[in-house]
Amino acid sequence: MNAPLRVAVLGSTGSIGRQALDVAARFPERVRIVALAANRSGALLAEQARLFDVTDLAVADPTCAPCGDDLPRGAECATGAAAVVALAVHPDADVVLNALVGAAGLRASEAALVAGKRLALANKESLVVGGELLMALAGGAATTVSADTRLIPVDSEHSAIFQCLVGEPRAAVARIWLTASGGPFRGHSRAQLDTVTREAALAHPRWTMGPKITVDSATLMNKGLEAIEAHHLFGTGYDAIRVVVHPQSVVHSMVEFVDGSVKAHLGATDMRVPIQYALSHPDRWDAPCEPVDFVTLGHLDFEEPDPVTFRCLALALEAGRTGGTLPAAMNAANEVAVAAFLEGRLPFTGIDRVVATVMEAHDTQPVSSFDQLEMVDSWARDSARLLY
Ligand SMILES: NC(=O)c1ccc[n+]([C@@H]2O[C@H](COP(=O)([O-])OP(=O)(O)OC[C@H]3O[C@@H](n4cnc5c(N)ncnc54)[C@H](OP(=O)(O)O)[C@@H]3O)[C@@H](O)[C@H]2O)c1
């Protein structure tokens, strides 16, 4: 057997991070965790460090560092945003799993790619904000998916598309079908959305995820972010990306080829599957969950999304088509608005109002650097905060 894959998990205390450690625990001979990072969950980080015997740790918030007695012998926990990014270039890491949430993950993605690491990317906001620059660092949207592909998506839809593309020439792709569950408010009218609560927005019908992506799924912003992510990852134009609502979330996405054939990826709604594939690629390891039983399932449904009611989907697609710095501004406004909604300071339909207003005010420029994108991000956050 090969030497174990050495993995740095950034965002290890979150939904994706904890599931990644679950995969690592199932395959101790194949995966070794070499670094862990979080924002504020110092106690959980320390527990994970003890469990996986990890000595290189970081927390972004300096007030939340775990104390020395809680850590394994020889372990150190550095603090601050730069300390989290530093673990993306950890000399022992073969793979960096970026499971941070929001644009806060951008610099870690950049650092990992510059350092020549394989990047297993859950942090979709990295690609939304800096897709042009990150894909250039990753060697571009490859013409075929191969064993040495540098950037491997963890998002279930993109992992599905990636797996459908194995062995296929990229020129043969006619269309990507991006499936969406529709979220907890599928079928709601705009008037009904005006009064939905935080608790209802957090009750996703199919997936258990962190709070930000769960709200993004309820507004359909998540599907817009994913369309931008797919555009960058697979070099696909927006006219060739079609969003389709599929409430069962069994088909994780599909690729249509020029000859009319369609390949779909189907499976359980369990994020450990795409996380595991991002580590095992091009191999496959034993399933972490029960496979789908198609007889029990019975049928699969597909519907048109409603971008008029769920305006965030239309706004994100507009930002993606416009390109330049607009997706970065849109993303930052959305992060601020979602946080305000979760804190009870903005109604659900206020989220798209804030995003639309910031997008209108933004003077879109061609993307030139990560520093420029961070300035746009910061401007958009300040602008969004003035709107509620
Ligand atoms: N959850 C899913 O099923 C799923 C599916 C597909 C894609 N994704 C994507 O994966 C990413 C993570 O999602 P999630 O649901 O796992 O989020 P989550 O549960 O909120 O976890 C986020 C993780 O990032 C850490 N973090 C947050 N801000 C940070 C900062 N500024 N510096 C350092 N660490 C920070 C958090 O630390 P603390 O615990 O200390 O706050 C936590 O470990 C997102 O981009 C999401 O869109 C998630």
Question: Whose CA is closest to 58, among 117, 107, 114, 13?
Answer: 13
DSSP one-letter string for 189-232: -HHHHTT--HHHHT--SS----HHHHHHHHHTHHHHHHHHHHHH
**pLDDT per position as a tens digit, 8-30:** 999 999 999 999 999 999 999 99
Dihedral of CA atoms 37, 42, 46, 51 in degrees, nearest 10, equals -70
Of all protein residues, the one whose alpha carbon is nearest to atom 1 of ligand 1 is 209
Query: How many Cβ atoms from other residues are within 10 Å of residue 44's Cβ?
Result: 17
CA–centroid distance, 134 to ligand 1, in Å, is 19
**pLDDT per position as a tens digit, 94-116:** 999 999 999 999 999 999 999 99
- As a whole number of angstroms, the distance between CA 145 and CA 175 comes to 16
**pLDDT per position as a tens digit, 142-191:** 656 777 789 999 999 999 999 999 999 989 999 999 999 999 999 999 99
Residue 60 CB less than 6 A away from ligand 1? yes
**pLDDT per position as a tens digit, 281-327:** 999 999 999 999 999 999 999 999 999 999 999 999 999 999 999 99
**pLDDT per position as a tens digit, 262-273:** 999 999 999 999
Percent of the chain with pLDDT over 70: 99
In the beta sheet, which residues pair with residue 243?
Answer: 178
pLDDT, position 68: 81
- Eight-class DSSP state of 291: P
Query: How many Cβ atoms from other residues are within 10 Å of residue 139's Cβ?
Result: 12
- As a whole number of angstroms, the distance between CA 138 and CA 262 comes to 27
Of all protein residues, the one whose alpha carbon is nearest to atom 10 of ligand 1 is 122
pLDDT, position 328: 98
Instruction: Report the nearest atom of ligand 1 relative to the CA of 100.
Output: 24
> Which class would CATH give 183-219+306-385?
mainly alpha
Burial of 184 by CB count in 10 Å (0-12 exposed, 13-18 middle, 19+ buried)? middle
In a mutational test of the pocket of ligand 1, which residue from 16, 334, 381 has the highest number of ligand atoms less than 8 Å from its CB? Answer: 16
How does residue 343 score in pLDDT terms, banded at 50, 70 and 90? very high
Phi first, then psi: what are they for 289, rounded to 5°?
-150, 175
Residue 11 CB less than 6 A away from ligand 1? yes
Report, in angstroms and rounded to the nearest whole number, the Rg of the chain calculated over CA atoms. 20
CA–centroid distance, 39 to ligand 1, in Å, is 9
Residue with the bigger pLDDT between 67 and 246: it is 246
CA–centroid distance, 16 to ligand 1, in Å, is 7
Contact between residue 42 and residue 14 where contact means Cβ atoms under 8 Å apart: no
CA–centroid distance, 101 to ligand 1, in Å, is 4
How does residue 358 score in pLDDT terms, banded at 50, 70 and 90? very high
Q: Where are the domains of the chain?
A: 1-140, 183-219+306-385
CATH assignment, 1-140: 3.40.50.720
- Segment 240-269 shows an average pLDDT of 97
Contact between residue 333 and residue 361 where contact means Cβ atoms under 8 Å apart: no
